[in-house]
A and B are shown apart, each in its own frame.
Chain A
Amino acid sequence: MSAELDSLYQDVILDHAKRRLGAGLREPFEAEVHHVNPTCGDEVTLRVHLDGGTVADISYDALGCSISTASASVMTEVLVGRPVAEAETVLEEFLAMMRGKGAYEPDEDVLEDAVAFQGTARLSARVKCALLSWMAYQDAVTRAADPEETR
């Protein structure tokens, strides 16, 4: 019975849900966004700090289920330290996987630990949990690059 659960709750995910890498809101940052999953109420406040075209820091305060908090943690691990353009490639690959209903073959070299969410992509009800912090990151980077849009 737990095979299907185990494909969702992979060790990587349960581990990140506990460790919450990068959690907490830090200075400096160029943009802060607040995203909510209206169906379940999960929330994330997320800041990005860009330094010379590099994602220097992603800090966040997340309230939600294990999938959404693990996703924020994994994202931090995978994206921080990369050039913004490269982070964009990872983001695109992650979105493609999450929208692929489990049929998409993700590039593990690009996604690293984030590939663990392939099991989540099969469960339409949980896709938004995994996407929450990634969409917040995308929003924050857009705002950081164009301060006019920062509220």
Chain B
Amino acid sequence: MSTPTAFTLPGLLPELEVVRKDFPILERTLPGDRSLVYLDSANTSQKPQCVIDAMVDHLERHNANIARAMHQLGAESTEAFEQARADVAAFLNAPRVEEVVFTKNATEALNLVANTVHLQPGDNVVITEMEHHSNIVPWQLACERSGAELRWFDLQTEGEDAGRLDLAGGDARGVIDENTKVVAFTWVSNMLGTVNPVRELADRARAVGAISVVDASQAAPQLPVDVQEAGVDLLAFTGHKVCGPTGIGVLWGRYDLLAALPPFLGGGEMIETVRMERSTFAAPPQRFEAGTPPIVEAVGLGAAVRYLGDLGLENVRRHEEAITRYALEGLATVPGLRVLGPGIDAPEGRGGAIAFELDGVHPHDIAQVLDSRGVAVRAGHHCAKPAHARYGVQSSTRMSSYLYTTPSEIDALVEGLEYTRSYFKLG
């Protein structure tokens, strides 16, 4: 296998080898004594030791239910949970800690919004063709329930604008109009790596009195997410892609907007008072956190966003850009390989997910051969079937880097793709 080379690229995280030591899983080897080359971070990121330790410490020393246990452990657990909320608020530069709602994942956060925003016949909801299924299906369901109309901005696949939304075309068609109640879109595409002009889209929503809902699942891991600067109304992301555990996600919302939304799930801890006839409800965020929440997962998420904050999201973004540029250059040397998505010099930059096709080999078979060499990538539709359909393909292979990815891992991918071509006898 390729040996780790000491060479560096402009923009990589300083002391990358030291940073990598924070992630114990990167040390492990696979059968045949192959090193792990993990290029599936857009699927889920690996976890630094500090996150693992924070969760173990909580379970070993502080475990208790929160907000109700009248004992010392209960107080410690509650404090740890609420500290995590404060950590997330700081991570997002949220004006108020109470604007952070803990959910199970980004999908639940988006469903929470789609189930509580009032819609009726005559209204419309605007999404985009590059959304993850979790920002399409909840809106389809909401529109079916309410009689509202579902509209979308198209995805472009050709020329300089490949991988970018056709905002001008959407404007010309009047996609957003005075009846638009919601404009929901992804900040960074999980399939294409496209970075959308968030501020511009949020401004379009605000201009007609609609709320903007942003899926930041891929943005939060790799670039600074400042909800005030972005000017958005509601924003969702998931814990496990930002070095945190699974089982926890976040819905951030402007406080006045959250305060105007009805409850989503009913149950314990979301009430003010309950009588047999009817109940009144707690203020946000508790209104949206029915039942015992994922406590240790919140503690882990808090540690994760503190870790990212210490590294500096600007530094992480620069690292991702450097690795992505290097990867695009490497992939361009593989005959018959076509990248689906924007080039590195797209105006808004580019995220670290690169979906591609290789002539003559199905993505599933590519992933299998790469896996036999220890290179982990994702193959399939990446929960973005409409975007694949727009490109005229059923599926693709996706490599996704993260803050711990090295140039030599990209070399291993490129070598693996060359080997894949020779294995399937493609010249």
Contact = CB atoms under 8 A, between A and B. Distances in A.
Contacts, number: 49
A67 B364 contact: yes
A126 interface: yes
B7 interface: no
B369 A5 contact: yes
Interface stretch (B73-81, B263-271, B379-387): B379-387
Contacts of B395: 40-42
A40 B381 contact: yes
Given A40-B395, A65-B364, A66-B362, A2 B423 contact: yes
Nearest to A39: B380
Contact of B372 (A1, A66, A68, A126): A1
A8 B363 CA distance: 16
B381 A41 contact: yes
A64 B381 CA distance: 12
Interface string A128-139: 010000000000
Interface residues of B, number: 18
Interface string A67-103: 1100000000000000000000000000000000000
A14 B373 CA distance: 20
B372 A41 contact: no
Nearest to A69: B362
Contact of B364 (A5, A43, A129): A129
B228 interface: no
A124 B369 CA distance: 15
A113 to B, nearest CB: 19
A65 B363 contact: yes
A4 interface: yes
Contacts of A66: 362, 364-365
B111 interface: no
A2 B369 CA distance: 9
A9 B366 CA distance: 12
Given A40-B364, A65-B364, A1 B381 contact: no
Contacts of B392: none
Nearest to B382: A41
Contact of A8 (B32, B368, B388): B368
A43 B365 CA distance: 16
A63 interface: yes
Contacts of A68: 364
Contacts of B365: 9, 65-67
Nearest to B362: A65
Interface string B193-215: 00000000000000000000000
A14 B388 CA distance: 26
B37 to A, nearest CB: 14
Interface in A13-35: 14
A8 B32 CA distance: 17
A86 B381 CA distance: 37
Contacts of A123: 368
A5 B362 contact: no
A2 B424 CA distance: 12
Contacts of A4: 372
B120 interface: no
B8 interface: no
B279 interface: no
Interface in B349-371: 362-365, 368-369
A130 to B, nearest CB: 11
Nearest to B374: A1
Interface in B32-55: 32
A41 B394 contact: yes
A63 B362 CA distance: 10
Contacts of A1: 32, 372-373
26 contacts: A1-B372, A2-B423, A8-B368, A9-B365, A9-B423, A40-B363, A40-B364, A40-B379, A40-B380, A40-B381, A40-B395, A41-B381, A41-B388, A41-B394, A42-B394, A42-B395, A43-B394, A63-B394, A64-B362, A64-B394, A65-B363, A65-B364, A66-B364, A67-B365, A68-B364, A129-B364
Interface of B: 32, 362-365, 368-369, 372-373, 379-381, 385, 388, 394-395, 423-424
Given A2-B372, A42-B394, A126-B368, 10 more contacts: A1-B32, A1-B372, A1-B373, A4-B372, A5-B372, A39-B380, A41-B385, A65-B363, A66-B365, A68-B364
7 smallest A-B Cβ distances: which pairs?
A: A65-B364, A65-B362, A40-B380, A41-B381, A41-B395, A5-B372, A66-B365
